[in-house]
Amino acid sequence: MELFQRLAEGHAARITVVTPNRRLAQALTAEFDAFQIGKGLSVWEAPDILPFGAFVERLWEDALYSELGDKLPLLLTPAQEQLLWQEVIASSREGKDLLFTETAAAHCRDAWGLLHQWRIGAARGNEDHSAFSEWARQYQKETLGDVDSARLPDLVAGLLDKLKKPKLLV
């Protein structure tokens, strides 16, 4: 409840709660709303409760609209990422034999995200691994210096000392 009391101070308190996923952010927001209703309020500022991905995107947007903006790459949308993966797979030797390149692209996009989340480096594997590794190399080339959601946290981490951050991050 102490957290909710501090969140109730509003955005002037500069408190941000970061959750691992959207579902938990929504659940905490609902609990906060119930807390405010319990105090007899009918109107209040929305709490700053964000899933990790949204928090990272907000930091990137803050950087984009600061003096750092000229030097930042563009952030690809999920649809752009998916299309790039599809093009990379469809144009590869291995991809020509696939019936569902859209599905393979979605799986590659997910795997790419997991590789970056868990900081998994290159390893040796079977022919599927070899195909994915080649697709990943080509995908990186195709992004032309733009950044995707998987690599955005690393980009933002390098900018943290230059960005305005919350007073308290929970």
Range of the domain at 51: 2-72+153-169
Q: How far is CA 2 from CA 32, 47, 72, 119, in A?
A: 11, 14, 38, 35
| 121 lies in the same domain as 157 | no
pLDDT mean over 78-98: 95
| 82 lies in the same domain as 51 | no
Task: Answer whether 77's CB lies under 8 Å from 41's CB.
Answer: no
| 19 lies in the same domain as 43 | yes
| 105 lies in the same domain as 160 | no
| 103 lies in the same domain as 45 | no
pLDDT mean over 150-164: 95
Q: Does the pLDDT of residue 122 top 80, yes or no? A: no
User: Which pTM value belongs to this model?
Assistant: 0.88
The count of domains in the chain is 2
DSSP E strands in 120-166: the ranges are: none
Here the tokens at position 153 are: 């946290």
Query: What is the per-residue pLDDT for 121?
Result: 83
